[in-house]
Structure 1
Amino acid sequence: MTRRLLLSYLSITLLVLLGLEVPLGHFYASGEVSRFVGDQRHAAEILAGNLEYSLERGAHDETHDLVADFVRTTGSRTVVADSAGKVLIDSAQSVAAGTDLSADDDVATVLRTRTVSTTRGQQPGSGDTFTVTAPGSTSTDIHCVVRVLYPLDALESRIHGTWMTLALIGLGVLLVVTIVALALAHWVTRPLRALERATAALADGRLTGLPAVAGGPPELRRLAVTFSITAHRLQHLLQAHRSFASEASHQLKTPLTALRLRLENFEPYLDTQAHGSLDEAVEEVERLGRMVHGLLALARLENSASTPERADLDAVVADRALTWSAFAAEHRVEILVTGPDVGEVWAIPDALEQIIDNLLSNALRVSPPGTTITLAKAPAHVHRPPMAELHVIDEGPGMTEPERERAFDRFWRAADSYHEGTGLGLPIVQQLTRAGAGEVLLRQAPGGGLDAVVRLQPAGRDTNGAPLDQTSQRAWVSAF
C-alpha cells in the first residue's frame, strides 16, 4: 500500500508539473521567437536604410564599412544587391559580385512589392537560419536590396536551456514530493503494518499483546485497536476450544474405560438372551473410546507446531503394507503395493504412518472379501508443482460426489454406513497432510470403489542434482 500511495502522490504531482511547465515552456519559446524575429527584422530595415543613403551618395567605402560593422555586431551573413538584383557585397564572399539574384523568391518579392520578406530555411554549410530581405528605397526608387541571414543557434540554445531548467525544476519538485510522500505514506500505513503483524501472529497462534498504533490517521488507529481487541477475543475462544477438546477427551477416556470393564463384568450375571445387547453396548463404548482417541489426536495436532522432516515414503508404505497384510488376510482382502520408488518426502514426524493406517483402516472396513486394496505410488515429476502421490484404492461401494465433498467434516458418516467408524479418520489424515504442506483428496476409483490420493512435497534434488533442504525445497516448489 505504501508503494501505491507513493505512486498516486507522484502521479498527481507529475500531472500538475506537466500542466504548468509545458504551457510555460511553449509560452517562453514563442515569446523568444517573436522577439527575435521582430528585433532582427528591425535591424535589417535600419541597415537597408543606411545602405540606401550611402549608395545614393556614391559612398561605396562607407557601404562596405556599414556591412562589416553590422556583420561583426550581429554575427550574421549579409548580402547587398543593387536595384536590378545583382550582388554588390557578400560578407561571406561566397557569391561573386555581379551575380543576379533577381530570380530568388525573396529578392523578387522585395523588388516587386518594396516590403520586407522573412523566411526560415536550411542553408548549405551554415545550419538553420532566419533570413530577412529588406528594400533600401525612397518613396520612388529602390536603390538596393539587403539580405541578412541570422543563425538560430543562440536562440535555440536559449530555448533548450529554458526547457532544461524547467525539467530540472520538475525533477527537484518530484524528489521533494517523493521524500514527503514516502514519509506521509509510512505514517498513513503504520497502523496497517501493525495489523499485518498482528494478523500473522494470530495465524501462528502467538499474538501476545496489542500492536503499537501510536501513529497514523485516527480512523486507522481506531481500526487497529478494534481489530486487536477482536483478535484477542478470537484467540481466546480458539484456545478455550482447544483446551476444552483436549481436557474433555482426557476426562472422558478414563470413565469410558471403566464403563467398558463394568459392562464386560456383567456378562456372567446376565441372561443369555441379553448377551447380544451387552455386546452392542460394549461396541458403542469402544466406538466412543475411539472417538475420544481421535479427538485427542486432533487436539494435539492443532496445538502443536511440528516442523516437517524428511521421510522415506517407499519404506513407510512397505512397512505399513506388511503390518496390515495379516489383519487384511483375516478378512480375505489382499494389500498390493505398486508404482516406482518415490524417495523422500516432507512430513511431520510419524505422520506418514498415521495417514496410511487411517486410510487402510477405512479401506479395509468397506472392502468385500476377495478384493484388493492397492497402494499405488506416483513420482513427483508428473505434476506441476511437483508433488509425490500415494493412492489408497479399494474395491468397496465408493462414495458419491456429495459424500466425497463432506467426507473430511468431523464426525460425518455416510447415511448408509454400516461400519463402526467415528468420522474422525479422514479429518486426521487431512490435518496431518496439511501440516506437511501437502493435500489429500478423494476420487472415484476407475473400477469402482474409492481412490484416496495423498500428495506430499518431495524432499528431492534441484535441477543440478544437489540435495534440497526444507527451505530450498519450498522455494523450488513455489517457483512452479
Structure 2
Amino acid sequence: MTRRILLSYLSLTALVLLALGIPLGTIYAHHERDGFAADVERDAVVLAEQAEPDIAAGRSEPVTALAAEHSSATGARVLILDADGHVLASVDAGLPARDPAIDTALTNRHAVGYREAQRGGTELYVAVPARTGADVRGAVLLTYPTDLVDASATRFWLALAASGALTLTVVTVAGFALARWITRPVRILEDATAVIGHSADLPTAEIGPPELRRLAVRLTETSHRLHRLITAQRTFAAVASHQLRSPLTALRLRLENLEPNVPQGARSDLDAAIAEVDRLTRMVLGLLALAHLENTTTDRQPVDLDTLVTERIDNWSSYAAEHDITLARLPGRLGTAWAIPGAVEQIIDNLLSNAVRAAPPHTTITLGATPEETSGSTVEVHVTDQGPGLSEADRARAFDRFWRGPASPDDGTGLGLTIVRQLAQVSGGDAELRAAPGGGIDAFIRLRRASARVPLR
C-alpha cells in the first residue's frame, strides 16, 4: 500500500511538472529566439550604419575590417554588398552573392527568419539595408548557427529538468513519510489479523489518520470478543470430552456387570449397548485429540518415513491378517519429511483402520509411494485399498467432522479423517482422497521434505 500511495504521489507530481514545464520551456525558447533575432537585427542596423559611407564610396578594405571585427566580437557570419549586389566583405559567410534575404534588404526592407543552412542544420538570418536617407547603398547579412541561437533555451530546459528532478526527490521523501504515516495503522491491523483468535493482546495504532485509528480500535474490540468466543468453545470441547470419559467408562462397566443377569433373548441388545458406548468413547477420544491439536503448538521435526511405514506395516499385519487382508509396501523410497512428533504414526494408523474396515477379504492394502512420486520438494505417503470406494461428492465431504460414508460400519465415529487432515496441516502439509485405479480409495498425505525448507512452528 505504501508503494501504491507513493507511486500515485509521484505520478501526479510528474504530470503537474510536465503540464507546467513543457509549455513554460516552449514559451521561453520562442521568447529567446525572438529576443535573439531582435538583438541581431539591431546589431545589423548598427553595422550597416557604420559601413554605409565606405559602401557608398566602394571601399572594400574598411568594410572588410569592420565585418571581421564584428564577426570576431559576436561570432556571426557577415556578408556586405553594395547596391549592385557586388560583395564588398564576406567573413565566414559561405553564401552566394544573391539570395532572397539580400534582395529584400536591397529593396529597403528588413528580412529576419530561420532557414536551412548550406553547411547543414538551421541558421538565423538577418538582412538590413545600408542606406542614406531613402537611398539604398547596399545590404548587410548576418547569420548565426541555431546552436548559438538556442544555447540559452537549452540551459533553461536543463534548469527545468534539474528543478523537476529536485521536486520529484522532495516529493518522494515527503510522500514516503506521508505514506508510512497513513499506512502505519494498516500495517498494525495486518499484524493483528495474524493473531486474531490466538491472542487477545493486539497492537494498537497511536498515529496515522483518525479514521484508520478508529478502525484499529474497532478491530481490537472485535478481536477480544472473538478470542473469548473461540477460547470458550475450545475449553468447552476439551472439558466436556474429558468429563465424559469417566461416566462412559463407568457405564460400560455397569453394562458388563449386567451380563449374567440379562436373559438370553436380550443379550443382543446388551451387546449393542456396549458397542455404542465403545463408539461414544472413541468419539470422545477423537474430540479430545482435535481439541488438543487446536490448542497446542509444536515444533516440526524431521521424520524418517521409510522406517515409520515399515513399523506400521509390522504392527498392523496381524490385525489385517485376521480380516484376510494383506499389507504391502510400495518400492519408492520416501526419505525424511517435516512433521510434528507422532503425527505421521497417527495418520497412518487412522488411514489403515479405515482401509481394513472398507477392504473386502483376500485383497491387498498398499503403503508408501512409487519411485516417480518421491521426487521434488514434497513427499506423499499413500494408503490404497481395493474396497468399494467413494463417489467424488463423498470424497469431498469425507474430511468433515462426524461425516460417515453410506456403507460405513456402525462403529465408526466420523472423526478419523478429520484428525488425519488436521495432523497433516499442522505438520505443514495436507491430506487428500482420490479414486484408486481399479476401484477403492487412494488416501494420501503430502508433506514438505526435510531438505526443502526450515520447519515452521
- Common fold: TM-score over 0.5: yes
Query: Using a 3 Å threshold, how does the CA distance of structure 1 residues 275 and 432 change in structure 2: closer, same or farther?
Result: same
State whether structure 2 residue 155 is matched by structure 1 residue 161. Answer: yes
CA deviation string 1:406-453 (max 9, x = no partner): 111111112343341100100000011111111111111111111112
Amino acid at match of 1:316: L
Aligned 1:333-412 pairs, distance under 5 A: 333-378=325-370, 386-412=377-403
What does 1:92-241 align with in structure 2 at a 5 Å threshold? 92=92, 101-102=97-98, 104-108=99-103, 110-111=105-106, 115-116=110-111, 118-122=113-117, 124=119, 129-137=123-131, 142-202=136-196, 205=198, 207-241=199-233
Give the deviation of 1:112 after TM superposition.
Answer: 6.7
Distance 2:133 2:106 in 1: 13
Percent of aligned pairs sharing the same letter:
46
Match of 1:454 among 422, 445, 453: 445
C-alpha deviation, 1:179, in angstroms: 2.2
Q: Counterpart of 1:343 in structure 2: which amino acid?
A: G
Residue 437 of structure 1 is matched in structure 2 by 428
Q: Which residue does 2:42 correspond to in 1?
A: 42
SS where residue 289 of structure 1 aligns? Answer: helix
Cα displacement (A) at 1:181: 1.7
Equivalent AA in structure 2 for residue 144 of structure 1: G
Secondary structure class of the residue paired with 1:9: helix
CA distance in 1, matches of 2:345, 2:48: 109
Residue in 1 that maps onto 2:279 = 287
Whether the 8 Å contact between 1:29 and 1:159 is mirrored in structure 2 is yes
Q: Secondary structure at the match of 2:237?
A: helix
Q: Does the CA-based 8 Å contact 2:55-2:82 persist in structure 1?
A: no
One-letter identity of the residue aligned with 1:264: E
Cα distance, 1:226–1:140 mapped onto 2, change above 3 Å:
closer
| Corresponding letter in the other structure for 2:168 | L
- Rate the CA distance shift 1:270–1:114 in 2: closer, same or farther, 3 A: closer
- Residue aligning to 1:260: 252
> Secondary structure of 2:174's partner?
helix
Q: Match of 2:85, as an amino acid?
A: G
3-state SS of 2:369 partner:
strand
Q: CA deviation at 1:371?
A: 1.2
Is the contact between residue 381 and residue 387 of structure 1 (CA under 8 Å) also seen in structure 2?
Answer: no
Determine if the alignment matches structure 1 residue 325 to structure 2 residue 309: no
1:48–1:380: structure 2 CA closer, same or farther, 3 Å change rule?
Answer: farther
Distance 1:141 1:173 in 2: 58
Secondary structure at the counterpart of residue 145 of structure 1: strand
- Match of 2:196, SS state, is helix
Q: Which SS does the other structure have where 1:470 is aligned?
A: coil
Q: Any stretches of 5+ residues in structure 2 without a counterpart? A: none
User: How does the TM-score come out when normalised to structure 1?
Assistant: 0.88
C-alpha distance after superposition, 1:132-162 (max 9, x if no partner): 2333345776432322122444442211211
SS, match of residue 180 in structure 1: helix
State the alpha-carbon separation in 1 of the partners of residues 362 and 373 from structure 2.
34
Please, which moves more after superposition, 295-304 or 106-115? 106-115
Partner of 1:470: 454
C-alpha contact (below 8 Å) 1:117/1:133 kept by paired residues: yes
Q: Name structure 1 gaps, 5 residues minimum.
A: 461-467, 475-480
Counterpart-to-counterpart distance in 1, 2:270 and 2:331: 46
Compare 50-59 and 449-458 and name the one that shifted more: 50-59
SS of match in other structure, 2:367: strand
* Alignment root-mean-square deviation, CA: 2.5
Q: Look up the equivalent residue of 2:30 and give its one-letter code.
A: S
CA distance in 2, matches of 1:341, 1:60: 107
Q: Secondary structure at the match of 1:418?
A: coil
The one-character-per-residue Cα deviations of 1:257-278 (angstroms, maximum 9, x if unpaired) are 1111110010011111111110
Residue 210 of structure 1 and its aligned partner are, at CA, apart by 4.0
Deviation digits for residues 353-390 of structure 1 (CA, Å, limit 9, x no counterpart): 1010000000111111111111141458767x632112
Q: Is the 8 A contact 2:200 2:223 kept in 1?
A: no
Would the aligned equivalents of 1:376 and 1:390 in 2 still touch at CA under 8 Å?
yes
Helix, strand or coil at the partner of 1:389: strand
Worse overlay, 302-311 or 416-425: 416-425
Q: Distance in 2 between matches of 1:219 and 1:88?
A: 83
Instruction: Give the secondary structure class of the aligned counterpart of 1:243.
Output: helix
- Secondary structure in structure 1 of the residue aligned to 2:381: strand
State the distance in 1 between where 2:329 and 2:46 align.
Answer: 110
Q: In 2, are the aligned partners of 1:49 and 1:136 still within 8 Å (CA)?
A: yes
Distance change >3 Å, CA 331–CA 135, structure 1 → 2: same
State how far apart, in whole Å, the 1-side matches of 2:83 and 2:291 are.
113
Q: Deviations over 1:177-211 (max 9, x none)?
A: 222222221221121122112112226x2x24242
> TM-score w.r.t. structure 2 length?
0.92
Q: Do the aligned partners of 2:108 and 2:129 also contact (CA within 8 Å) in 1?
A: no
Aligned with 1:297: secondary structure?
Answer: helix
Please give the alpha-carbon distance, in whole angstroms, between the structure 2 residues aligned to 1:240 and 1:2.
Answer: 38
Once the two structures are TM-superposed, the CA of residue 231 in structure 1 deviates from its matched residue by 0.9
Name the residue aligned to 1:53: 53
Post-superposition offset of 1:12: 1.2
Asked whether the 8 Å contact 1:438–1:457 carries over to 2, the reply is yes
C-alpha distance in structure 2 between counterparts of 1:116 and 1:237, whole Å: 92
| Kept after mapping to 2: 8 A contact 1:358/1:425 | yes
Are positions 1:414 and 2:396 aligned together? no
